[in-house]
Amino acid sequence: MNITSESHLAATVLSIKGNLMADNSDRFQRDVRETVQNFNANVIIDCTELGLIDSVGLESFLWLSDELNRNGNKLTFAAVPDSVQSVFELTRLERVFSTHKTVEEAARSFA
């Protein structure tokens, strides 16, 4: 798994390449902590290159959402692959996570 970030006016965009699974969830949380210091910005997860996700990966997304909410910010997702969207639906997390077709659409959702 590889995470890159870009700061924009509306949010910080985190792009995940690869799988988010139990074996790399600690690294995900550490990398996110370093990138989104103090969780003082909205975050968009660009899922264009996200492969598989397991329950621990989902917990990492929930952790990030909780940290952002504590500081008055939001988490949203862009370009979610069908396989990940299916996991969101099976776990009913589509009720918790906001998803958008593009990063630009996700950024506009913060306005």
Residue 111 has pLDDT above 90, yes or no: no
The candidate with the shortest Cα–Cα distance to 78, out of 4, 23, 6, 16, is 16
Task: Give how many domains the chain has, as a whole number.
Answer: 1
Q: What pLDDT, in 10s, does the model give residues 75-94?
A: 999 999 999 999 999 999 99
* Per-residue confidence (pLDDT) for residue 37, from 0 to 100: 80
Q: What pLDDT, in 10s, does the model give residues 6-63?
A: 988 889 999 999 999 999 999 999 999 988 887 889 999 999 999 999 999 999 999 9
* Per-residue confidence (pLDDT) for residue 100, from 0 to 100: 98
d(CA 18, CA 7): 21
* Per-residue confidence (pLDDT) for residue 44, from 0 to 100: 97
Q: Which domain holds residue 70?
A: 2-108
Q: What's the CATH number where 64 sits?
A: 3.30.750.24
- CA 67, 37, 80 angle in degrees (round to 5)? 60
* Per-residue confidence (pLDDT) for residue 40, from 0 to 100: 86
Give alpha helix (H) positions in the chain: 25-35, 55-70, 82-90, 103-108
Q: Is the separation of the CB atoms in 39 and 70 below 8 Å?
A: yes
* Per-residue confidence (pLDDT) for residue 39, from 0 to 100: 82
The CA-atom distances, in angstroms, between 82 and each of 28, 33, 69, 78, 97 are: 22, 27, 26, 12, 15
pTM equals: 0.94
